[in-house]
Amino acid sequence: MPTEAELIEKLRKIEALYQRPGTDGERAAAANARDRVRARLAVQEPAEPLLEQRMSMPDGWSQRLIVALLRRHGIAPYRIRGQRRTTVMARMTDRFARETLWPQYQQLSALLRAHLAEVTERVIVQAVWRDVGDVAERPDAPPGENAAGAGPGV
């Protein structure tokens, strides 16, 4: 009987095959194989309890990414009434959250943030002003100005 690590690796290969364009028959065969491996893996996994995990994301983009990853793995994300829109709840094992979900989220989030930063800077340079460098730093706040820097209308 294959080990859990071998099953997981096989599942990754099947997922890659399934994601790749091909004939309908190849995609159906990959989907069937993926389902069989998931069923065997579920039987082999120790009965680790599902825990309610709360993830507070820094912004809407991050929230959308974590929701997409959860759904991709067959986990139903939810929010409890009254929670912020950037809070995501899900029931999963602690191991899955630590070893699978979070590393995927971090990698994809870094790529997405880099892309968004590049697009934002390019749009500002083209549409607003060409100098998007950092602001000058002064040693002290000018007399009569709040050190916190409350600007006009704030």
pLDDT for 41: 67
* Residue range 25-73, pLDDT digits in tens: 777 777 777 777 777 766 665 578 889 999 999 999 999 999 999 999 9
Q: What is the pLDDT of residue 83?
A: 94
Domain ranges of the chain: 1-45, 48-131
Is the Cβ–Cβ distance between 82 and 40 less than 8 Å?
Answer: no
What is the reported pLDDT for 89? 97
Query: What's the Cα-to-Cα distance from 37 to each of 3, 4, 20, 43, rounded to whole Å?
Result: 12, 10, 19, 10
